[in-house]
Structure 1
Amino acid sequence: MVGDTELRHLRRCIELAVEALEEGDEPFGSVLVDADGTALAEDRNRVAGGDRTRHPEFELARWAAANMSPEQRAQATVFTSGEHCPMCAAAHGWVGLGRIVYVASSEQLAGWLTEMNVPPPPVRSLPIRDIAPNVVVEGPVPDLAAQVHDLHRRYYGAR
């Protein structure tokens, strides 16, 4: 169950996704939070420049590896607007980050993209648990998923 503090972090993820959209990027945003609930780092999608690996979850995993002890990483939570792709789930697992809480699942996103006739991505979408089976994962969050769906409609509708 997602509580008020977690909802605040997830709403920040959506704000970051809006920033990404306003910069011409796919709408994704993520926040890395320590065991005490303090936001340590955040990022948004930055793939519009041509580097398709500039996902916020991947950037936060790299930040955590450089700035946190293994114990701190294991107790941290990554909040994100969309479920990690396989690349980001692998980075999360390799770095030893703790829990993931996401607003919209990769299954939901795939359905939305199909509805909009968007070609499938070059990497198959898989649930986080298929990539990093020991990571605690929570999501989707239905109360916020409609907002994320709308951001993707806006992004792909403008193309």
Structure 2
Amino acid sequence: MGYQPEPVTDADLPYLRRCVDLAREALDDGDEPFGSLLVDASGTVVFEDRNRVAGGDRTRHPELEIARWAAVHLTPEERAGATAYTSGEHCAMCSAAHAWVGLGPIVYASSTAQLTAWLQEWGVAPGPVTPLPVGDVAPGVPTRGPALGLADEVRGLHARLHGVRDPA
């Protein structure tokens, strides 16, 4: 079978919790619910952001901002030792940026497959880019996810975004 992410660890959960909180903050501010952190090898959060696409620039994903920030502020060795945490698995654009910059693992609360299934279930039209898992875009980047309880919470945020009364 193809690409398979590793399971989320207990140590990942506080970072993923913060990502979901950032996603909620984005949604509360009228944006799409995505939030992300970059954690260095010592476990320190060195950068965090949330989606900022509501202003019209559809590339303002927090995962892309992490890659841009890391390219400027971290050495190649520091980038390789850093972990990106995110409420939703990176899109193809963000996966590519992550790999090109040389960042370490990606850990996500909800997967691309989950988001795609939710949107399809709710009748939401697909976006302009094919949804692909990180492993299909950047096969050398290790991943962990999804986080079961947090993925359900992320589903609720997306349901709210799309005005769906979600029974799940």
Normalising by structure 2, report the TM-score: 0.92
CA distance in 1, matches of 2:163, 2:131: 22
- Is 1:133 matched up with 2:139? yes
Match of 2:34 in 1: 28
Q: In structure 1, list runs of 5 or more residues that go unmatched.
A: none
- Is 1:67 matched up with 2:58? no
CA distance in 2, matches of 1:154, 1:32: 26
The one-letter code of the counterpart of 2:154 is V
The Cα shift of 1:64 comes to 0.4
In structure 2, which of residues 71, 79, 90 is the aligned counterpart of residue 84 of structure 1? 90
The Cα shift of 1:143 comes to 2.1
Q: In structure 2, list runs of 5 or more residues that go unmatched.
A: 1-6
The Cα shift of 1:4 comes to 3.6
Percent identity over paired residues: 61
SS in 2 for 1:59: helix
- Is 1:46 matched up with 2:52? yes
The Cα shift of 1:81 comes to 0.3
CA distance in 2, matches of 1:86, 1:53: 11
CA distance in 2, matches of 1:152, 1:73: 30
The Cα shift of 1:11 comes to 0.3
In structure 2, which of residues 20, 24, 48 is the aligned counterpart of residue 18 of structure 1? 24
Match of 1:57 in 2: 63
1:112-131 to structure 2, matched below 5 A, reads: 112-131=118-137
1:91-131 Cα offsets, whole Å, 9 max, x none, are 00000000000011001000110111110000000110111
Tell me, yes or no, if the aligned pair for 2:8 and 2:146 is still in contact at 8 Å.
Answer: no
CA distance in 1, matches of 2:28, 2:141: 32
CA distance in 2, matches of 1:28, 1:153: 13
* Structure with more contact order per residue of length (Cα contacts < 8 Å, sep ≥ 6): 2
For the aligned residue pairs, the C-alpha RMSD in angstroms reads 1.0
Match of 2:163 in 1: 157
Tell me: CA distance 1:3–1:127, structure 2 relative to 1, closer, same or farther (3 Å). closer
Normalising by structure 1, report the TM-score: 0.97
CA distance in 2, matches of 1:134, 1:54: 24
Pairs aligned (count):
158
SS in 2 for 1:79: strand
